[in-house]
Structure 1
Amino acid sequence: MARRKKIYEGKAKILYEGPEPGTLVQYFKDDATAFNAEKKATIEGKGVLNNRLSEFFMSGLNAVGIPTHFIKRINMREQLIRSVEIVPLEVIVRNFAAGSMAKRLGMEEGTPLPRPIVEFSYKDDALGDPLVPEEYIIAFGWASQQDMDDIVALALRVNDYLSGVMYGVGIKLVDFKIEIGRVWEGDFMRLIIADEISPDSCRLWDVATGQKLDKDVFRRDLGNLADAYTEVARRLGVLPKNNGSVTKPTLIN
């Protein structure tokens, strides 16, 4: 990794220059953060799990015609992705009240929403990624009206796909967040799913018991985060069912 130029380092991933123009290598770290990085820890094996799970979801989206930046997994911690211009928004899709929405509206966590609700937050750690209305987004030029229509349509398609996949293995998709990237093909620009899709970016509850299988385990000190992510991976067939937690991953491509 030392010979490869680092492009960007975030809380959970590092981006390096890719082997070809228009590509990047995305490396998944073992770092876990919560509350805008006020709570931090290193969870051994977390990066391996998130790499494999994000590969699973991104490949599935590509297969059903929902475009993503994912090209291929390189090894246990890295994947090759398309370089994109990130729209400076987190796109949040909620199916049940939880987290900040439940607090904001005084709703009991787990209350089903009348329909999936799409929210947007402005990507700025210093400001705490504040929620912003569509009017702000268009007025400040972060995205056009056509972009917003396309982003909402993409987010709802992702929700349909993820909800079905998760429900099939006994997991309720409470909410999730995605990022959107712009790519150019000649003079034509299109929007695609970027960043990652993993338990770091989703709320996942066991359908029968309500057990949390996502980063809330870390946020709320509910147990071992690697065990929770491993359970999601097992159910989806990403890991063999007899595997334990991924604490010392075997480096097999």
Structure 2
Amino acid sequence: MDYPAGQGISVLDRAKTADPDIVGRSKRLWLLPGGQCLVQIIPSLRSFTYERDELVERTGPLRLDFYEKAAARLAAAGVPCAFRERISADFYLADYRPAPPFEVIVKNRATGSTTRKYPGLFEDGALLPRPVVKFDYRCDPEDQPIGEDYLRALGLPVEAMRERALAVNDVLREWLSPVEVWDFCLIFGQADDGELTVISEISQDCMRLRHQDGSPLDKDLFRDGVAGDEIVNQWSRILDVIQ
């Protein structure tokens, strides 16, 4: 695959000669002039619940394949997204917005933390009567649910984030059908004018997706102990059914 030969290619030199400014669980980030950043995807897969933390080569480019398409869909629907330009298999340019220490999760089905933390309320995989939006405080070793009033006490636009998360849900569900979106997580950053921007990656690493045959196309494969080569094979299947 060929990538644009504009500004992005030149800034790759920085990644070769300078340490990243920020290193997270799954990304390295170099700050650039003009409010942008260079991001490298780390091909890491992590599950606190199942005590797995591994590098799975080839998942990084697959994640970026998905994210590049998802960002274009969100932008076309009027949802601001930090992604700007893909410049290699695992590098891209983005607008830089400081990441808050919490994420927004949308659930269309009861799964994962819903059935694990609240046993007996829902059957695993049950379709929820309407999408559920929740907020998690991002901390090691495991993210924790946080009450919305704490976020309001920090002056954060909770209702606007809820509405924006549901808008993302609508876009993803329509785009990916007949693949089913069970849940996903987002991180919102804010511009100087307060505008909310999706600054997190949207990919198989941060979603639960089910093929029309019922099989998982996401990190649940890793959670279930599937080997790296098979994860790559299954993650590639999603690219066959999306535009």
**Aligned equivalents of 1:205, 1:220: Cα separation in 2:** 15
Q: Tell me the CA shift for residue 183 of structure 1.
A: 1.3
Deviations, residues 20-55 of structure 1 (Å, cap 9, x unaligned): 321101111122111179412221211111111111
Q: Check if 1:231 corresponds to 2:225.
A: no
Richer in helix (by share): 2
What is the CA deviation profile of residues 124-156 of structure 1, one whole-angstrom value per residue up to 9, with x for unaligned ones? 124x210011112223x1x43xx1111001000
Contact 1:31–1:42 under 8 Å retained in 2: yes
CA-to-aligned-CA distance 1:134-186 (integer Å, 9 cap, x gap): 112223x1x43xx111100100000000011111xx211000000000112xx
C-alpha distance after superposition, 1:226-247 (max 9, x if no partner) = 112111122214xxxxxxxxxx
Work out the CA distance in 2 between the residues paired with 1:14 and 1:179.
16
What is the TM-score with the length of structure 1 in the denominator? 0.84
- Structure 2 match to 1:155: 165
The AA in structure 2 aligned to 1:218 is F
Change in CA separation of 1:4 and 1:183 when aligned onto 2, cut-off 3 Å: farther
- Correspondence 1:64-143 to 2 at 5 A: 64-103=77-116, 104-106=118-120, 107-126=122-141, 128-139=142-153, 141=154, 143=155
Match of 2:204 among 199, 204, 215: 199
The alignment-based identity, stated in percent, is 29
Q: What is the rounded CA distance, in whole Å, between the counterparts of 1:63 and 1:96 in structure 2?
A: 26
Q: Is the 8 A contact 2:74 2:168 kept in 1?
A: yes
1:35 aligned partner: 48
**AA of the residue aligned to 1:204:** L
Is 1:176–2:184 an aligned residue pair?
yes
Q: Distance in 1 between matches of 2:50 and 2:124?
A: 23
- The code of the aligned residue for 2:68 comes to E
Give the match for residue 6 of structure 2.
none
Distance 2:18 2:73 in 1: 29
Alignment-derived partner of residue 4 in structure 2: none
**Deviation (angstroms), 1:5:** 4.1
Unaligned runs of 5+ residues in structure 1 are 238-253
Q: Give the Cα separation in 1 of the matches to 2:83 and 2:21.
A: 17
- Residue pair 2:186, 2:202 contacting (<8 A) in 1 also: yes
Q: 1:3 offset after TM fit, Å?
A: 1.4
Partner of 2:69: helix, strand, or coil? helix
* CA deviations over 1:183-227 (Å, ceiling 9, x no partner): 12xxx22111012000101000123x2101100000112452111
Quick one: which amino acid aligns to residue 190 of structure 1? E
Gaps of 5+ in 2: 1-14
> What secondary structure does 1:92 align onto?
strand
- Please identify, of 3-12 and 88-97, the stretch whose mean Cα deviation from structure 2 is larger: 3-12
Could you report, residue by residue, the CA deviation over 1:35-88 in whole angstroms, capped at 9, with x for unpaired residues?
Answer: 179412221211111111111101110111000111111111111000102222
Q: Provide Cα deviations, 1:80-103, integer angstroms capped at 9, x if missing partner.
A: 000102222110000011111022
Cα contact 1:91–1:155 (8 A) shared by 2: yes
After superposition, give the CA deviation of every residue in 1:102-122 in whole Å (9 maximum; x if it has no partner). 222422222110100000001
| Number of the residue aligned with 1:220 | 224
Question: Given residue 55 of structure 2, which amino acid in structure 1 is its aligned partner?
Answer: T
Q: Distance in 1 between matches of 2:49 and 2:115?
A: 18
